[in-house]
Copies of this chain bind each other. A is one copy, B any other.
Amino acid sequence: MSNPDHSIIDISVTCTVFGFDGQALNVLLMRQRPPVPDFPLKETLDDAAARVLYECTELDGIFLQQFYTFGHPQRVRAPKDQDWLKTVRAHPERRVVTVAYYSLVKMDDVSPRAAPDSLAQTVEWVDIAKIPALAFDHNKIVVGGLKRLKEQLTSENLGFKLLPEKFTLIQLQHLYEIVLERKLDKRNFRKTVKKMQHLIPLDEKEDGVVRKPAQLFKYKRDFPE
């Protein structure tokens, strides 16, 4: 009933990490790493995603959401992917099904660094408008994560998760414009956003800026994040 050995399929979890630097939406890319870390037997998928995220960012308790599972039989079969897998995996020929999560982090909280273990080379932020060709089907995965983020940003108020603790409404608007891929009207945006319970104006202003400083706001969480 179960798959005989010759049809074993590996399963893995991946995490597409988004961050916003005030100008562009970025995604955290790992170069020269196994596409997917090992997947301990006793871990839930959510826990595995959280671990993957932690390994790249040292962050804990971060927003994470499963968005799609990629399982095309040929997804790890491109010659260059195979060449590399052979150097790194016991069973490079095996089909891999990957459960993809996306995650929203405050870029300031992440100090891009090598993962603690062996093979990692670099972890770096890349503007989503400038993503190079990635290994496997990781371009598709990023696009999938983006699509889901776009769908959920407004209804789930996810924008705050991508901004620093203190932010301006202009920053928030800019982020929305980038994710939603359309211009928003400044006054209407502020009208809407100021209705939200969770948006708390601070008695503080931007600093070190060569124009009228903008007011800072914070986001009040209901629960620890």
Q: Given A44-B73, A97-B11, A99-B69, check contact A1 B89 (CB 8 Å).
A: yes
Chain A interface, >50% SS class: loop
How many copies make up the complex? 2
A103 vs B134: C-alpha distance when bound (angstroms): 32
A82 located at the interface, meaning its Cβ lies under 8 Å from any Cβ of chain B in the complex: no
- For residue A94, CB closer than 8 A to chain B, the reply is yes
Task: Decide if A136 is an interface residue (CB 8 Å cutoff).
Answer: no
Identify which of B6, B44, B97 contacts A72 (C-beta below 8 A): B44
Q: In chain B, what residue has the closest Cβ to A6?
A: B41
Within 8 A of B (CB), among A1-41: 1-3, 6-11, 34, 38-41
Q: Separation in Å of the A218 CB from the closest CB of chain B?
A: 30
- As a 0/1 sequence over residues 171 to 188 of chain A, the CB contacts with chain B under 8 angstroms (1 = contact) are 000000000000000000
